[in-house]
Amino acid sequence: MSDAVRNRLWIANEWVDARAGETFPTTNPATGEVIAHVAEARAEDVDAAVEAARGAMADPAWRRMGPHERSRLLWKLADALEADADAIAALETADNGKPYFESRKVDLPSIVENFRYFAGMADKVQGATIPVSGPFFNYTLREPVGVVGIITPWNFPLSLAAWKVAPALACGNAVILKPAEQTPLTALRLGELAAEVGFPPGALNVVPGFGPTAGSALVRHPGVDAIAFTGSTEVGRIVMREAAETLKKVSLELGGKSPNIVFADASLKDAVRGASTGIFYGMGEVCAAGSRVLVERAVYGDFVAQLAARAEKMTVGDPMESTTRLGAIVSEEQLDRVMSYVEVGKREGARLVTGGERTTVNGKGNFVTATVFAEVEPTMKIAQEEIFGPVVAVIPFEDLDDAVAKANETIYGLAAGIWTRDVGKAHRVASEIQAGTVWINTYNQYDSGSPFGGYKQSGFGRDLGWEAALEKYTQVKSVWVALDR
């Protein structure tokens, strides 16, 4: 095991074993090899993490830390992540299976930028003075919520942790991070780096473990004030139900079945490229993946042929190879799920144009080829359910109203893409689509400053962006002062 792999719980700036002494293996999905046996947090370990986090909220070292100092620490954490980016990206790729190119050139730089963006926010969290009736001075304070439990999925392990950890710390909260059991390693490294740059004990704790045990214990714990969750809609429902018991503040970033809408007047070349990266980037294990492509009838045949040709160029390979475009699917279980949807698609009568094959690299690992289904009916399972794999359903539409109706015909509302040269049409469709993010003539753009989150059953609350962070990670206190006595 390399030096870079940390495998114990990170509580109060110390490595500790799980109370019950249990561990679980985390594997490299490209090779099947066990990378590390990681300490498995259970309820009693979550108790210890909560105690550490509450301790931080009571400790002047954190509670009274000046905002400029908090900002400086976040900036230093960004520097530390940047300095160690090669190793962290390699760790992410080993744990998750995504191409190293994606971890190193996309994830890590955006994580670093994210910490810098929220470093800039730390000393600008401020209230207002309010002109009220009567002889009173009224003002508001923006205070931390307290202990924030952060539960993250396996598809962008460190990125999605950063989206929540950075603003939560910027606003002065103490954090307990429960990474996904498939990909706990980079989160542990983040905890360690936070201590190295000077965050006091308990400000950031990391407790790897399973959802129904560690995750649920965090959600139900009376000492946790808020839960910020990214994961499946199914688990999101459980989290909301369980958080109700203690009336925690909850935010949920959940699944999607995002439409990419291609009008006949679009640049077909750009639309094909956008639709391709929209579904195949990150092996389609992306909550905002453009997994439904709606194409205007006049260009449908051409579009399908060109998309299939691009799909066939998506080289499946060793994630560490620079030529690889599709890495490994995170686990065998997830690959089984993807393959079962390929079967469902065929059974329901959609046309499998290309892909749909389980494969290996050097005789090992969980891989699948880029898959395109055409002649998909909007009611089919492959057009309605989140597959979380490189499988796209291409659906024809007749006109703008039909496109909007089909785009909105889902329980989800995370993101959407629109491809057209007609600026009026683009904005009209953008306003009619029920989704938290709309991309016009592009796809999969993110920035620390631009809010991201769902409409409908894709959840509520936003990650990224200034206002979203204030909303999620602070609470407002209104203070009244009598001026006449």
222: how many CB neighbours lie within 10 A of its CB? 9
User: What's the rounded Cα separation, in Å, for the pair 51 and 73?
Assistant: 23
Phi, psi values for residue 19, rounded to 5°: -55, -45
Q: Which position among 253, 285, 296, 386 bears the catalytic label?
A: 253
239 makes contact with ligand ADP (CB under 6 A):
yes
> Least distance (Å) from ligand ADP to the CB of residue 171?
22
Q: Is there a catalytic annotation at residue 253?
A: yes
Min separation Cβ 152 and ligand ADP, Å = 6
CA–CA dist 73, 67 (Å, integer): 10
Give the residue, chosen from 30, 151, 206, 275, that forms a contact with ligand ADP under the rule CB under 6 A: 151
Q: What is the rounded CA–CA span in Å between residue 139 and residue 141?
A: 7
Residue with smaller CB distance to ligand ADP, 155 or 306: 155
Looking at residue 380, its amino acid is M
Number of residues that bind ligand ADP (CB under 6 A): 18
Shortest-Cβ-distance residue relative to ligand ADP: 211
- Encoded one letter per residue, x for contact with ligand ADP by CB under 6 A and - for no contact, window 163-202 reads ---------------x-xx---------------------
Site residues for ligand ADP, 196-235, by CB under 6 A, read: 210-212, 215-216, 219, 231-232, 235
CA 26 to chain centre: 20
Stretch 109-148: interaction string toward ligand ADP, x if CB under 6 A: ----------------------------------------
- Minimum Å gap between C-beta 83 and ligand ADP is 27
What sign does the dihedral 305-330-334-165 (CA atoms) show?
negative
> Does residue 25 bind ligand ADP (CB under 6 A)?
no
CB 340 within 8 A of CB 360: no
Which residues on neighbouring strands pair with residue 292, listed in sequence order? Answer: 259, 393
Question: Which residues lie below 8 Å from residue 110, measured CB to CB, with a gap of 6+?
Answer: 159, 446, 448
Tally of residues, the chain: 485
Q: Which stretch binds ligand ADP (CB under 6 A): 75-83, 151-159, 271-279, 419-427?
A: 151-159
Q: Compute the distance between CA of residue 40 and CA of residue 329 in angstroms, rounded to an integer.
A: 23
Contact between 276 and ligand ADP per CB under 6 A? no
Decide: 221 and 49 in contact? Cβ < 8 Å: no
Would you please indicate which residues are annotated as catalytic (active-site) residues? 253, 287
Binding site for ligand ADP (CB under 6 A): 151-154, 178, 180-181, 210-212, 215-216, 219, 231-232, 235, 238-239
